[in-house]
Amino acid sequence: MLAVEYGEDIIVVDCGVQFPNEDMPGVDLIIPDISYLLERSERVRAILITHGHEDHIGALPFVLSQLDVPVFAPRLAQGL
């Protein structure tokens, strides 16, 4: 996940999950910390998805449950 700030606007590029290391038993996914975005939610304009791999879209359900922003993605990624 990359947050690009320009003036008063924030665009998020990709919204993926990470996978745990072997020394993290019981952990299935690592979800990005979006507290910075939540504190500035009125400035977040959109999420831009580059492609449909899980490390780029896997956290979307978690993030979109907390941020009400449009998502722009290629057609294939939209279908996932």
pLDDT tens-digit readout, 7-36: 999 999 999 998 888 888 888 888 999 999
SS3 letters across the chain:
CEEEEECCEEEEECCCCECCCCCCCCCCCECCCCHHHHHCHHHEEEEECCCCCHHHHCCHHHHHCCCCCCEECCHHHHHC
- Domain edges within the chain: 2-79
**pTM of the model as a whole:** 0.86
pLDDT digits (tens, 9 = 90+) for 53-64: 889 999 999 999
